[in-house]
């Protein structure tokens, strides 16, 4: 009888492996950091070969820690940093140059050209995604244009493309010796190459970006046995793969339309389960695939990303030096009773969802002699709450989904003042789960469901325990006033950059 499910979270700065038992409790965790390189402004790269070397060692490390053997592993699930692009040689098994990560903006010209050609309406219609440097497809195009000989070799079928889960699954299942070349549908939905209605590669998009079909992996559900591991993990089925934000949504057991989670890190990602009908929001929040289990109809999500949340606190610590450590922002914010009329809009590099203004810049408004650093700290925390509110309002307005609660994870959930403020401005309870590693948990849940280690979704929902709940307690009149003030503050930040030469 298998005793654990293993999950790999291949993230931006590190890869980790966690083991979970039948009750969804953590058994062990192993982690390794990898290098990021920044060869030019706006370029952010990883070494895919290094990441694979780390991952193949992590699972045995986690098994040793938990004192279980490979035979005790019922299944392996993979969650990964999304949109990071790698191409490799199918005969040598080596990556062909560095992986281009999701933060990398080198495809700005490719994206601008698509927009200039008037293609953006068509692209949104097919993929759900407005052209942006975020997505993997334009990166593949950039590689085909810039790596000498790559296009010829790609067209003759010698080169494979994938996001990180494709790369890992191919290697785990044997690489040059029979490796399986697949991508899961949530990752495929972030390439800007996939038709969001049919879940297949779009010929129109392949033409627009001039990508040869021969390099593409097969699009598969997020919960399915893709293949069986060889080597150290001989015999373990790989039974789940999913993008990291979708993994967190699944790990938070957001299985019903309207269930929502927000991960608060340096930035924040809010995803809401949107059911099996394709949502068509205005260009405020992104429609994406939440998960697909075997032959079941895929479930959609809408996603709003916020560029700056925890990183604003880091700025208070490192640049303004008004706090010693990030958690002390709460101590400072509690030294005053309210924001004193001060608002911070942290548009340091533009605003993401739902405003999408790259020309917005950070502003602090409402300064008077009364304002002390405590008010600044409070305004910084409130900015995270109001940005969450904007995303939730856009989802309510565009997609018609009303949140009953918000499930939260990430480092900033240790900040009670912030969590209470999020509950207050959203006017719904905010819930923190007992297992905070929701990304790994989501990948494990998918893999365990697929092989029958867990019976069904309701079994998983039963494992979920709340570690904390913050209930809304703000006077509606105060909420109305503060939201109006926040909107006025944002008006000051929009379009600040002057393009005059």
Residues that bind other proteins (CB under 8 A): 25-26, 318, 324-331, 411, 414-416, 434-436, 465-470
Q: Shortest CA distance to 373 belongs to which of 421, 412, 419, 334?
A: 334
| CB of 416 or CB of 488, closer to other proteins | 416
| CB of 112 or CB of 461, closer to other proteins | 461
Cβ of residue 462: shortest distance to other proteins, in angstroms?
Answer: 9
Cβ of residue 238: shortest distance to other proteins, in angstroms?
Answer: 27
Cβ of residue 264: shortest distance to other proteins, in angstroms?
Answer: 13
Across the strands, what pairs with 82?
none
| In the block, residue with structure tokens 């340091």 | 348
What DSSP string runs through 464-501?
A: --EEEEE-----HHHHHHHHHHHHHHHHHHTT-S----
Cβ of residue 135: shortest distance to other proteins, in angstroms?
Answer: 33
Q: How far apart are CA 252 and CA 301, in angstroms?
A: 14
| CB of 52 or CB of 470, closer to other proteins | 470
Cβ of residue 141: shortest distance to other proteins, in angstroms?
Answer: 39
Cβ of residue 364: shortest distance to other proteins, in angstroms?
Answer: 23
Task: Establish how many alpha carbons lie within 13 A of residue 443's alpha carbon, considering only the half-sphere containing its beta carbon.
Answer: 28
Cβ of residue 25: shortest distance to other proteins, in angstroms?
Answer: 6
Contacts of 43 (CB under 8 A, 6+ apart): 100, 104, 105, 106
**Separation of CA 281 from chain center:** 19
| CB of 6 or CB of 435, closer to other proteins | 435
Residue 327 tokens read as 């958690």
Across the strands, what pairs with 181?
none
Cβ of residue 321: shortest distance to other proteins, in angstroms?
Answer: 9
Q: Shortest CA distance to 166 belongs to which of 241, 74, 244?
A: 241
| In the block, residue with structure tokens 């039948």 | 22
Q: Shortest CA distance to 23 belongs to which of 436, 453, 466, 468?
A: 453
| CB of 469 or CB of 484, closer to other proteins | 469
Cβ of residue 436: shortest distance to other proteins, in angstroms?
Answer: 6
Contacts of 267 (CB under 8 A, 6+ apart): 305, 306, 307, 308, 309, 310, 311, 352
CA gyration radius, the chain: 22
Cβ of residue 245: shortest distance to other proteins, in angstroms?
Answer: 21
What Cα–Cα distance (Å) separates residue 368 from each residue in 320, 339, 363, 365, 375? 18, 12, 15, 9, 11
Q: How many helices (H) and strands (E) in the chain?
A: 16, 23
Cβ of residue 310: shortest distance to other proteins, in angstroms?
Answer: 12
Contacts of 442 (CB under 8 A, 6+ apart): 7, 77, 79, 242, 246, 247, 248, 249, 250, 251, 252
| Residue 214 contacts residue 154 (beta carbons within 8 Å) | yes
| CB of 327 or CB of 358, closer to other proteins | 327
| In the block, residue with structure tokens 């394709």 | 278
- DSSP 8-state code for residue 222: S
What backbone phi and psi angles, to 5 degrees, belong to 188? -60, -30
Q: Shortest CA distance to 396 belongs to which of 475, 291, 282, 312?
A: 282
Q: Shortest CA distance to 72 belongs to which of 84, 82, 64?
A: 64
Residue 399 tokens read as 């997609």
Q: Is residue 114 packed enough to be buried (19+ CB in 10 Å), middle (13-18) or exposed (0-12)? A: buried
Cβ of residue 432: shortest distance to other proteins, in angstroms?
Answer: 9
| CB of 469 or CB of 478, closer to other proteins | 469
Cβ of residue 411: shortest distance to other proteins, in angstroms?
Answer: 8
| CB of 269 or CB of 470, closer to other proteins | 470
* Helix segments in 67-174, DSSP class H: 108-116, 120-127, 136-146, 150-155, 164-172
């Amino acid at each position: 009888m298998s005793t654990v499910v293993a999950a790999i979270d291949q993230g931006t700065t590190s890869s980790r492996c966690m083991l979970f038992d039948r009750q969804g409790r953590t058994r062990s965790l192993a982690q390794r950091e990898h290098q990021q390189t920044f060869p030019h402004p706006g370029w952010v790269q990883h070494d895919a070969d290094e990441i694979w070397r780390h991952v193949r060692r992590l699972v045995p490390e986690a098994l040793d820690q938990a004192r279980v053997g490979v035979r005790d592993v019922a299944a392996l699930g993979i969650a990964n940093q999304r949109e990071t692009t790698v191409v490799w040689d199918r005969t040598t098994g080596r990556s062909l140059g560095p992986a281009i990560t999701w933060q990398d903006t080198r495809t700005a010209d490719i994206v601008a050209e698509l927009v200039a050609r008037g293609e953006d309406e068509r692209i949104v219609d097919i993929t759900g995604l407005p052209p942006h440097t975020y997505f993997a497809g334009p990166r593949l195009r950039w590689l085909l244009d810039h790596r000498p000989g790559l296009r010829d070799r790609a067209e003759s079928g010698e080169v494979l493309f994938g996001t990180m889960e494709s790369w890992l699954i191919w290697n785990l299942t044997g690489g040059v010796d029979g490796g399986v070349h697949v991508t899961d549908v949530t990752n495929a939905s972030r390439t800007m190459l996939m038709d969001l209605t049919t879940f297949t590669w779009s010929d129109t998009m392949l033409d627009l970006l001039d990508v040869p079909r021969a390099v593409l992996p097969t699009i598969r559900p997020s919960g399915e046995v893709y293949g069986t591991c060889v080597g150290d993990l001989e015999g373990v089925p790989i039974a789940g793969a999913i993008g990291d934000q979708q993994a967190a949504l699944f790990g938070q057991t957001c299985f019903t339309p309207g269930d929502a989670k927000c991960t608060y890190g340096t930035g924040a990602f809010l995803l809401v389960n949107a059911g099996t009908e394709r949502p068509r929001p205005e260009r405020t929040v992104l429609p994406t695939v939440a998960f697909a289990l075997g032959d079941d109809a895929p479930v959609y999500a809408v996603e709003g990303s916020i560029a700056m949340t925890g990183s604003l606190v880091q700025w208070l610590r490192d640049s303004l030096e008004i706090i010693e450590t990030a958690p002390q922002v709460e101590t400072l914010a509690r030294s005053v009773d309210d924001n004193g009329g001060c608002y911070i809009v942290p548009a340091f590099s533009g605003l993401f969802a739902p405003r999408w203004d790259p020309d917005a810049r950070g502003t602090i408004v409402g300064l008077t002699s009364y304002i002390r650093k405590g008010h600044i700290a409070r305004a910084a925390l409130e900015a995270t709450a109001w940005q969450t509110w904007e995303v939730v309002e856009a989802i309510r307005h565009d997609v018609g989904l009303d949140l009953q609660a918000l499930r939260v994870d990430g480092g900033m959930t240790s900040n009670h003042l912030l969590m209470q403020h999020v509950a207050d401005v959203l006017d719904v309870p905010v819930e923190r789960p007992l297992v905070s590693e929701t990304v790994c948990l989501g990948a494990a849940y998918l893999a365990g469901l697929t092989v029958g280690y867990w019976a069904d979704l309701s079994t998983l929902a039963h494992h979920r325990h709340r570690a904390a709940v913050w209930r809304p307690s703000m006077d509606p009149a105060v909420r109305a006033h503060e939201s109006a003030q926040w909107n006025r503050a944002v008006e000051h930040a929009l379009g600040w950059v002057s393009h005059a030469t």
